[in-house]
């Protein structure tokens, strides 16, 4: 959508910039959105019409989460009545947007974009891996990467990983990094053993 005046904004554009990343840039009230940059999930193709089920799914998983605003398509609009036109929500305090995208699209979710979930311990790591990957791909990539049932990618990473990496350097750090890239599910004990033996 070219930069122009639209009913929801005096100045708005849906553009693709360098590296193929798409951005929605608009003039609006920052206090309403809550942050300068907000990830927006566009549900298209086989996911079209699933934005609301995904929204409720994510709200069930993460604590301190909720819907901030939701707008649905009405009869006669571009998408079936009841599909999500635009919704703002938060997961553990982090702001997101979600939309059902009518029309033909030549893209889907993939690992090029992922969300990192930092976990306090192994129990929390195991929990998020289990609930996020249910119906998806629990081991899509190394380093804690997974895909959920909508194809959205997540990285579930224990805080111990960051702590150990911050305390290592040189060849030891390289060895620790080699250990983690071999782990699809990050095991804190194995990772700590690798850091001690390297």
| Number of Cβ within a 10 Å radius of residue 173 | 16
Burial of 58 (0-12, 13-18, 19+ CB in 10 A): buried
pTM of the complete model: 0.87
**Average pLDDT score over residue span 31-58:** 91
Predicted pLDDT of residue 141: 65
Of the candidates 25, 28, 21, the one whose C-alpha atom is nearest the C-alpha of residue 1 is 25
Distance CA 184, CA 144 (A): 5
Please say whether the beta carbons of 65 and 91 come within 8 A. yes
Q: Tell me the pLDDT tens digit for each residue of 39-52.
A: 999 999 999 999 99
Q: Tell me the pLDDT tens digit for each residue of 86-121.
A: 999 999 999 999 999 998 888 899 888 999 999 999
């Amino acid at each position: 959508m070219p930069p122009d005046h639209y009913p929801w904004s005096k100045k708005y554009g849906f553009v693709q910039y360098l590296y193929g990343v798409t951005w929605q840039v608009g003039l609006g009230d920052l206090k309403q959105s809550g942050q300068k940059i907000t990830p927006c999930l566009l549900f298209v193709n086989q996911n079209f019409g699933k934005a609301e089920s995904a929204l409720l799914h994510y709200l069930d998983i993460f604590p301190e989460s909720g819907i901030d605003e939701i707008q649905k398509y009405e009869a006669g609009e571009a998408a079936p009545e009841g599909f999500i036109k635009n919704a703002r929500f938060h997961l553990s305090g982090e702001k997101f947007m979600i939309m059902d995208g009518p029309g033909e699209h030549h893209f889907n979710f993939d690992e090029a974009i992922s969300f990192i979930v930092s976990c306090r311990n192994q129990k929390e790591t195991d929990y998020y891996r289990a609930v996020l990957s249910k119906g998806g791909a629990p081991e899509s990539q190394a380093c804690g990467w997974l895909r959920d049932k909508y194809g959205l990618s997540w990285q579930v990473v224990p805080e111990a990983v960051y702590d150990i990496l911050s305390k290592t350097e040189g060849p030891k750090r390289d060895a620790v990094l080699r250990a983690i890239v071999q782990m699809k599910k990050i095991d804190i004990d194995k990772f700590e053993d690798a850091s001690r033996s390297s």
